[in-house]
Structure 1
């Protein structure tokens, strides 16, 4: 891979794509009628107590059926913003009780910051990480609820973006918030370094070991790759080569090496870390292996990346493209796209295939198969909260494990 590509990897922030822990998967395409008319919302007279049962049944039958609650669309202005940019999100809803005041809106975002979480219109501030990021909304009206998500693209700011951001009336406030967040990160880094440096007693050394792991992860997340690399190397030095506890630290080291553009070292450490690698490490390894002509190894890496990055389509598309080049039947490869389409959406997949020349063979195979219409839109999202921990059985002591 060219050095410029390595530099791009070095500048990329690690993405945590998806809202699976909060909202589940897919976009919602809901069916149902529109909002009830004024005549339909008119109250039905309640029969007087002396009315016959037939009159009561007639009055009940005359009540209009309530239209199903549905999200008509989620709007985003704009869809593509630089890091730190703002997106105005809107949710248009029909059906339900028909009373706007009865609807409750709850917005969530995998990354970035929502300036408010309630209401039909909110503002999302893009994170520092370029890439695809997901936002979602849950709308409740009485006992009815519907959910939908939207993918937004965040790019590295151009000089024009920076000039526009500087003119933003909220730029000063956003800058102050960014400085406050950075100050909090610096304070946490300093506190961890202080614990790591104190190693006088056995308890101090044990605390220092755990603090060094937290420090390395924070350094990696904040893009301090050289510092993270040093921390992971120190952690690895405290374990024997055969110790399985080394695997997560090898994964962190591989991530730092990928970001620094040290390709050969990164691939070597990536192989040692195995399945403990971070999701994006599998994708970057696939890119490097493909560039070196190691297609079977690249296919394996892309397959792991596609499974780990549930909201990132490129690993799956590269995986499918390489399978075609390796002679796998087109029918099997198209089956992969059709099966995965509810995660990404029909429009996104068709756009990526039609506009990226690297997927020309895959796009041609899809067109020749006549199965483009089988690609699905994103499926409705579901609220999936983690199960609460079970209390220990009588007579047993609860054990808290450190992950």
Structure 2
């Protein structure tokens, strides 16, 4: 398997260069001023009190090498919802003793498999978009930190936060822990309701709780558990019952995530239009890889319709249309349509750095329509709130169908 860097050259600086981000690293300001350039640290003036991250001069007057992060790696940089990213931090300078260094990983969203050590893995959250993961390295009185932006299929319309300040590290770690504990508590509460099936009322509540439990298991990346839950739900309905469709859609998503491709495509076809946007997208990728191009185009179109902020299906659809010989103006029109979902600068950076979209980038440049790309549009926030379901374990009014 190719590394993420080989598949997506330049992706590591995708956001840092394209959006002009700057991060405070230890005692100096590190600014990415161009492709391929490394952060440059400000040096403390002579006689000044050493700042965090800057090693003091030795008694002989020779300054020791400053502690610095040489490379922060992530493989891959682009993952689906619930996907896994392997992270590594290479450090040099300081005393040179690896055992003397302390590593602290933080993430505002998603889940870190461990928070210490030079390597870890990050499980992407259920929200597509750009997500930030950072590492703090300490040795003695010195510290350096760096962040990386990871792409979970498509960026959300929420504004990207500035790189973490010193006070944000603790807050981000606490937020991650709180989210994890809340999810675990909800899973436990739903499981308790599902397990109680003594009376008919209990069994009805268990049915609805199991549907919520399956969806939450899917969101939390517990795909084997979600698959078992959806199979139990499907077992409670006849094959001809249309109420099976949402459960088939959930089962298809779990199968996609588990890599059971043939089963996933079969269940996906049974679920039809009830499939989740991500399932349509996964199906499109598999169908395209198998040479079923018309079916892949249809799946990408359904994914884009199911989630109006899901731009990747449109990019895949446009690239596939080009390969099939469709007119370039028609394909470029799709890019213009997709631009409010990505944002102009982010879309241009994506096309310029992702080899799979090189032909699209060339077609856009030749069309002269790059100036028509739009900035990202905000999500409408004044929509009515959906009714809230009863809390697990509490009595609910059960409406029986005649």
TM band (smaller chain): 0.5 to 0.7
Q: Could you tell me which of 349, 364, 377 is aligned with 2:362?
A: 364
Q: 1:351 to 1:400 in 2, by over 3 A?
A: farther
Q: 1:132 to 1:175 in 2, by over 3 A?
A: closer
Any idea what SS the aligned residue of 1:154 has? Answer: strand
* Residue 196 of structure 2 corresponds to residue 198 of structure 1: yes
Structure 1 residue 285 displacement after superposition: 1.2
Any idea what SS the aligned residue of 1:200 has? Answer: coil
Question: Which one has the largest radius of gyration?
Answer: 1
The higher relative CO (CA closer than 8 Å, separation ≥ 6) is in 1
| TM-score, reference length from structure 2 | 0.56
CA contact (8 A) 1:165 1:171 kept: no
CA contact (8 A) 2:197 2:206 kept: yes
Any idea what SS the aligned residue of 1:214 has? Answer: helix
Q: 1:184 to 1:314 in 2, by over 3 A?
A: closer
Residue 32 of structure 2 is matched in structure 1 by: none
Residue 240 of structure 2 is matched in structure 1 by: 242
Structure 1 residue 3 displacement after superposition: 12
Residue 228 of structure 2 is matched in structure 1 by: 230
CA distance in 1, matches of 2:377, 2:200: 53
Residue 341 of structure 1 is matched in structure 2 by: 339
Deviations 1:261-301 (A, max 9, x none): 11111111111111111111111111111111111111111
Q: 1:382 to 1:155 in 2, by over 3 A?
A: closer
CA contact (8 A) 1:132 1:154 kept: no
Q: CA RMSD in A?
A: 3.9
CA contact (8 A) 1:306 1:312 kept: yes
Any idea what SS the aligned residue of 1:245 has? Answer: helix
Q: 1:155 to 1:303 in 2, by over 3 A?
A: farther
Residue 268 of structure 2 is matched in structure 1 by: 270
Deviations 1:89-128 (A, max 9, x none): xxxxxxxxxxxxxxxxxxxxxx9xxxxxxxxxxxx93444
Q: 1:170 to 1:235 in 2, by over 3 A?
A: same
Residue 306 of structure 2 is matched in structure 1 by: 308
CA distance in 2, matches of 1:177, 1:274: 37
CA distance in 1, matches of 2:377, 2:178: 38
Q: Could you tell me which of 288, 297, 302 is aligned with 1:299?
A: 297
CA distance in 2, matches of 1:295, 1:159: 46
Q: 1:382 to 1:169 in 2, by over 3 A?
A: closer
CA distance in 1, matches of 2:190, 2:20: 42
CA distance in 1, matches of 2:285, 2:357: 14
Q: Could you tell me which of 205, 209, 212 is aligned with 1:211?
A: 209
Q: 1:160 to 1:360 in 2, by over 3 A?
A: farther
Gap runs ≥5 in structure 2: 5-18, 24-80, 82-106, 112-122, 139-143, 148-164, 388-396
Q: 1:165 to 1:211 in 2, by over 3 A?
A: farther
CA contact (8 A) 2:256 2:264 kept: yes
Residue 154 of structure 1 is matched in structure 2 by: 131
Any idea what SS the aligned residue of 1:153 has? Answer: strand
CA distance in 2, matches of 1:159, 1:259: 31
CA distance in 1, matches of 2:339, 2:215: 33
Structure 1 residue 229 displacement after superposition: 0.6
CA distance in 2, matches of 1:380, 1:176: 28
Q: 1:227 to 1:382 in 2, by over 3 A?
A: closer
Q: Could you tell me which of 286, 289, 293 is aligned with 1:288?
A: 286
CA distance in 2, matches of 1:133, 1:388: 19
Deviations 1:315-343 (A, max 9, x none): 11110111122222222111222233233
CA contact (8 A) 2:109 2:125 kept: no
CA distance in 1, matches of 2:373, 2:278: 25
Give runs of aligned pairs for residues 92-171 of structure 1, distance below 5 A.
125-128=108-111, 130=124, 153-154=130-131, 164=145, 171=169
Q: 1:234 to 1:3 in 2, by over 3 A?
A: farther
